[in-house]
Amino acid sequence: MFNTNINFIGNRNIFLTFSSILMILAIVSLGVKGLKMGIDFTGGTLIEVGYQEAADLNLLRSKLDENNFADATVQNFGTAKDVLIRLKLKEGVSSADLSNQVLETINKDSKSPASIRRVEFVGPQVGDDLAEDGFLALLYSTVAILAYIAWRFEWKFSLGAIIATFHDVIVTLGFFSVLDIEFDLTVLAAVLALIGYSLNDTIVIYDRIRESFRLMRNKSTEEIMNISVNVTLSRTIMTSLTVLLVLVSLFFLGGEVIHGFSIVLLFGVFFGTYSSIFIASPVALMLGISPADLMVPVKEGADIDNLP
């Protein structure tokens, strides 16, 4: 544990300006380029193949890349001998023809040929439904967060938390748009997890601010908030570092299938911590939060009740 005295709140305009620029760039990229939707949202073909021995996934990916299947996702399915290949829709090519082309490609120059176990088609209508349900989940979770924090703390804190969470989601989606990284259901799940992580950090800081408002009567609102952020900083950093160690391990050792998931959370943990410190609290301050908003109301006649 360590004690700091960094003027986070005093420098809020610098960080709010920086965050505003990031959000504008992210929104422009999302509007112009959009997201590179995965097969879960666009529809496509699932091909399960089986081998007599453990499959070399890296070799399979190389073969598919070299034969115009660069968008294919290859992963083990159940055992090391079973492989699931996911491909986006191709105009004018049926699932049967596509599966035959894939089988011919992966069996070329192979000493241990694969056999097809099943072929499934995921239609674009299913993809549209998944996209709608996924983004509705984001909307509902945001509304629930707004209601919870407004009840737990105060509406000015609630708006600060929502703006900080909105910032994290938009910047993360913009990051995926700019770098053209595929957005699938695992990535959407990571975005939902990011919302929870960011909110958790924000609530810890808000809870400390609330307690400090009741204990520190001789300091300004800005000073109290700054002290509260500094007091919780060590806890925030230790929590973030612990999570980052796990995510780095997932990124390098978890395989290609969860790269998108780990990238979102790696990027999101940093910005979730950043927004809890530099956006959530400053926005609440700009909305006029003060110790009076969180003071426990005194019951009329309470002093009489305490008399012997």
Give me the CATH number covering residue 77. Answer: 3.30.70.3400
Query: How many CB atoms neighbour CB 191 within 10 A?
Result: 23
Q: Quote the domain boundaries for residue 98.
A: 44-122
Mean pLDDT confidence for 200-210: 86
What percent of the chain clears pLDDT 70, i.e. is strictly above it? 89
pLDDT of residue 294: 65
Q: Which residue has the higher pLDDT, 71 or 264?
A: 264
pLDDT at 243: 86
Task: Please report which confidence band the pLDDT of residue 127 belongs to, taking 50, 70 and 90 as the band edges.
Answer: low
Residues 169 and 30 in one domain: yes
279: DSSP letter? I
DSSP for 199-256? HHHHHHHHHHHHHHHHH--SS-HHHHHHHHHHHHHHHHHHHHHHHHHHHHHHHHHS-G
Give the pLDDT confidence score for residue 80 in this predicted structure.
80
d(CA 89, CA 97): 12
134 and 210 assigned to the same domain: yes
pLDDT at 3 over 70: no
Residues 18 and 133 in one domain: yes
Strands 36-37 and 182-183: parallel
What value does the mean pLDDT take over residues 128-136? 74
The Cα 184–Cα 186 span in angstroms is 6
Angle at 75 between CA 69 and CA 76, to 5 degrees: 140
Regarding whether 56 and 26 lie in a shared domain, the answer is no
Higher-pLDDT residue of 156 and 296 is 156
Q: Which residues contact 92 (CB under 8 A, 6 or more apart)?
A: none
Question: For position 95, what pLDDT does the model report?
Answer: 72
**CA atoms of 72 and 39, how far apart (whole Å):** 9
**What predicted TM-score, i.e. pTM, was given to this entire model?**
0.76
100 with 71, same domain: the answer is yes
Q: How far is CA 89 from CA 73, 116, 238, in A?
A: 13, 19, 45
Pair (205, 252) in one structural domain: yes
Number of domains in the chain: 2
> Range with the lowest mean pLDDT among 85-89, 229-233, 283-287, 298-302?
298-302
Give the residue-averaged pLDDT of 99-114: 84
Question: Which residue has 């694969």 as its token pair?
Answer: 114
In order of 68, 88, 120, 131, 180, the CA distances from 43 in angstroms are 18, 6, 11, 11, 18
Same domain, 131 and 236: yes
* CATH code: domain of residue 274: 1.20.1640.10
* 95 and 177 together in one domain: no
Contact in structure between 77 and 48 (CB atoms under 8 Å): yes
d(CA 170, CA 167): 5
CA atoms within 13 A on the CB side of 23: 17
Provide the pLDDT confidence category of residue 25 given band limits of 50, 70 and 90.
Answer: very high
Are 95 and 134 in a shared domain?
A: no
Q: pLDDT class for 26, splitting at 50, 70, 90?
A: very high
Whether residue 84 has pLDDT greater than 80: yes
- Confidence bin at 299 (pLDDT 50/70/90): low
What mean pLDDT comes out for the span 23-35?
93
Q: Is residue 227 part of a domain?
A: yes
Closest by CA position to 100, among listed 110, 112, 85: 85
Calculate mean pLDDT across residues 237-256.
83
Mean pLDDT of the chain: 81
Asked whether the predicted pLDDT for residue 304 surpasses 60, the reply is no
- Is the pLDDT at 101 greater than 90, yes or no? no
Same domain for 138 and 23: yes
Is the same domain home to 90 and 111?
yes
Report, as an integer, the average pLDDT of 192-217: 84
pLDDT of residue 19: 92
Q: What is the DSSP letter of 295?
A: P
For residues 57 and 150, membership in a common domain is answered with: no
Length of the chain: 308
- Confirm whether 306 is domain-assigned: no
